[in-house]
Structure 1
Amino acid sequence: CPEVALNDKERIRDISRAFSKHDVVIAEVGRWCNLLDSDPAKRKANLRRVTEGLALAETIGARCCVDIAGSYNRKIWYGPHPDNLSREFFDRVVENARRIIDDVKPKRARFCYEMVGWSLPDSADSYLRLIQAIDREAFAVHLDPCNLINSPARFYRNTELLNECFDKLGKWIVSCHAKDLRWEVEMSVHFREVTLGTGSLDYTTYLKRLAALGGDVPLMIEHMKGPEEYDKSRRYLFDLGHKIGVNFG
């Protein structure tokens, strides 16, 4: 979603009309900040920012507002920390999601947590537990399978990982990210994001399972280094879709 203030009604209307005119779905309103910041003032401001993001998604017609669940890391706002996998973390992110949703009361937009390899939700099962605990119709799933690949087992068995995500979370998926991973071999495990089709993610399975969901779930390419890489990745998706019978419309 383009940058726009929630109170700028005229620009919101213009953006919504422009996207609709060209039949483009607004996949998400990203609000990338730490909802568990150790500074109470920053934490309060971040909660307000994400709440306004969901309100904007509802107003402008985006599929969802998305943020990571948060982190206890004091140096890197999205960074790893042992307590990011704790029960306390789980309970706090459940509370935050409920507060955000209950404040906005959206009718069409959904609130989602980004999958992260070192924080909850870090698997299909942990995402499902969040859905059940949050217990709000407006809480949904933002699928980013590359973010879940945090071990050699998941790297090699990413087809199984994809199928597990769609089997367990499919009916809640409202938006997806597209990128690819390559294993850079060194003395520790290091996966690098690369252009689509040059890594190891099973895009045949990804596209087929996504197409089978029905509805209009967007797949958004991200983290490319510039227009050429985005275009290369887009062409890869369209070419593969043509080969396997998936139509992008």
Structure 2
Amino acid sequence: MLPNDFRAISYLHLETLQNLGLTGAAFHRDGETLAEVQAVDCRRVQNLYREAGMDLPQFGIGYRECLFDPDPTVRKRVLDKIKRGIAVARELDAHYCLIRTGSLNPKGSYSASPANHTTEAHALLTDSLREIAAQAEAVDQVVVIETHLLTIMNSPETNVAVITEVGSDHLRIVMDYVNHFQTLEQVFHSTMRINHIFDVMGSVCPVGHCKDIRIGEGLVLHIDEEIPGEGELDLATALRRWHALQPDGYMLLEHLHAAEGLNPPEHPGKKLGWSSQQMATFELYAQAARNVHRIADEAGVPIH
């Protein structure tokens, strides 16, 4: 719900999100364009957040390359983007800088490939992560990895093993529990799976993503994301576990996109020049925020 170019963020953008009962707003930037970002841009945005009383919990770096590509020129290119992104995150005063591992499947970073799970791929991944961690330590910026069952870091157990192997307290994992549901049984008995995920990798997760799951249609298994509170998961348990782990830590709403637009006569997005689809997407986030606040209240979890 923020502009694609974070340099265009206004006080009104932040105030509009704050009116949903949110205290933070995250954004990302394409790694190809990070060189355009100047320190003065970051200071302006940092001051806007401070003026609005909002936090920047996460700054994400966008790229298509893979951290364990066998081509060293590809790895250097993506590592250069990430290093610049870490510097920008520090200048923005972002709590965490978000990266992903990528995939050797050319279809995308979250597309599966057997080539992702070789000894050679693992060695290249840990080499790249050590280089990233060194840069993060140099500027005192914590980097978090978004992991997923379709990627090289495909389970809570793998996540902890990789973080332990790299050995830096400036490299952590996002608590994106939805990304680590592997079977239909786990979805339908979600309390057990959520507890397992938190038990295994909770200690290396300083920031989280709050999502839900629905089972999609089709003759094979489709585990799809859903608006929090509208799906199958025991979100009360997820919120309780998160509060016990990080009582002051953020869980972020994400990946909500309206298929169709709406154009009501009165809407906060009109002042921001939003399209009908952007206004419809905003309503999905409003619903998600209401649901999470309700579930948290019922579960005895304070949100502040």
TM-score (norm 2): 0.75
Correspondences of 1:43-54 after superposition (within 5 Å): 43-54=75-86
Post-superposition offset of 1:234: 0.6
Superposed displacement of residue 96, structure 1:
0.8
CA deviation digits over 1:3-46, x for unaligned, max 9? 59465111211212222333322122212322244665443222
Query: Partner of 2:293 in structure 1?
Result: 238
| Alpha-carbon spacing, 1:154–1:185, altered in 2? closer, same or farther (3 Å) | same
Give the CA deviation at 1:106: 4.5
- Give 3-state SS (helix, strand or coil) of 2:208's partner: strand
Question: How big is the shift at 1:243?
Answer: 1.4
Does the alignment pair 1:22 with 2:77?
A: no
Mapped pair 1:12 → 2:42: yes
Report whether the alignment pairs 1:173 with 2:205. Answer: yes
C-alpha distance in 2, partners of 1:43/1:196? 36
**1:84 aligned to which of 89, 94, 116:** 116
Per mean C-alpha deviation after superposition, the further-off stretch among 140-149 and 164-173 is 164-173
Higher Cα Rg: structure 1 or 2?
Answer: 2
Pairwise CA RMSD: 2.1
The answer to whether the aligner puts 1:153 opposite 2:185 as a matched pair is: yes
* Cα distance in structure 2, aligned partners of 1:228 and 1:106: 41
State the aligned residue count: 249
Contact 1:29-1:57 at 8 Å conserved across structures: yes
Kept in 2, the 8 Å contact 1:180–1:194? The answer is yes
Q: Distance in 2 between matches of 1:29 and 1:98?
A: 20
How far apart in 1 are the matches of 2:136 and 2:227? 37
Distance 1:205 1:108, change over 3 A: farther
Asked if the contact 2:61–2:99 (Cα under 8 Å) also holds between the matched residues in 1, the reply is yes
Question: Structure 1 residues 247 and 215 mapped into 2: Cα distance closer, same or farther (>3 Å)?
Answer: closer
Q: CA deviation at 1:108?
A: 4.3
The separation in 2 between residues aligned to 1:77 and 1:145, in whole angstroms, is 18
2:250 maps to 1:218: yes
Equivalent in the alignment of 2:98? 66
Q: Which amino acid aligns with 1:188?
A: V
Which string of whole-angstrom CA distances, capped at 9 and with x for unpartnered residues, describes residues 110-136 of structure 1?
Answer: 122211121132211111101111111
Contact kept in structure 1, 2:58 and 2:97, CA below 8 Å: yes
For residue 182 of structure 1, give the secondary structure of its aligned residue in structure 2.
strand
Q: Which amino acid aligns with 1:139?
A: L
- The superposition leaves residues 179-218 of structure 1 with CA deviations (integer Å, 9 ceiling, x where unpaired) of 2111124210012222111111211011111111245321
How far did residue 2 of structure 1 move?
A: 5.8
CA separation in 1, counterparts of 2:193 and 2:123? Answer: 25
- The offset of 1:156, in angstroms, is 2.4
- Report deviation, 1:248: 1.1
User: Displacement, 1:166?
Assistant: 2.1
1:248 aligns with 2:303: yes
Shift of 1:47: 1.4
Structure 2: which amino acid aligns with 1:186? G
Structure 2, gaps ≥5 residues long: 1-26, 258-280
Query: In structure 1, what is the Cα distance between the partners aligned to 2:202 and 2:80?
Result: 29
- The residue that corresponds to 1:195 in the other structure is 227
Q: Is the 8 A contact 2:136 2:142 kept in 1?
A: no
User: Closer, same or farther in 2 for the Cα pair 1:32/1:148, shift >3 Å?
Assistant: farther
Give, as a single letter, the amino acid of the residue that structure 1 aligns with 2:54.
V
Flag the 1:20–1:168 CA change in 2: closer, same or farther, 3 A: farther
Paired with 1:87 and 1:157, the residues of 2 have a C-alpha distance of 33
Secondary structure of the structure 2 residue equivalent to 1:105:
helix
User: How many percent of aligned residue pairs carry the same amino acid?
Assistant: 23
2:176 matches 1:144: yes
Cα deviation for residue 170 of structure 1 reads: 2.4
